[in-house]
């Protein structure tokens, strides 16, 4: 505790995902005073057909250049 779940569209590199999780972990340790081992983060990635924003799936957004 605390537990962080990130909903993310597929396509980020392992380096990008590691970087954000490290920042989040460090921030929670710093501001909440918790033990680093207590901070658990999971990224749930969705393929493009499984995510929508603005009424368009991420398949449609890519096709539309968004």
Task: State in angstroms the smallest separation of the CB of 65 from a second copy.
Answer: 15
Contacts to a second copy by CB under 8 A: 1-9, 12, 14, 16-29, 31-32, 36-37, 39-46, 49-55, 57, 59
For the question of residue 47 being annotated catalytic, the response is no
Is 7 buried (19+), middle (13-18) or exposed (0-12) by CB count in 10 A? exposed
Residue 3 has phi, psi (to 5 degrees) of: -115, 130
Distance CA 57, CA 63 (A): 10
Q: How far is the CB of 60 from a second copy (least distance, A)?
A: 8
Catalytic residue numbers, as ranges: 2
């Amino acid at each position: 505790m605390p537990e962080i779940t990130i909903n993310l569209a597929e396509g980020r590199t392992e380096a990008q995902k590691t970087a954000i999780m490290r920042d989040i972990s460090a921030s929670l340790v710093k501001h909440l005073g918790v033990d680093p081992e207590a901070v658990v983060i999971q990224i749930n990635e969705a393929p493009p057909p499984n995510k929508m924003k603005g009424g368009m799936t991420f398949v449609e957004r890519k096709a539309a250049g968004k």
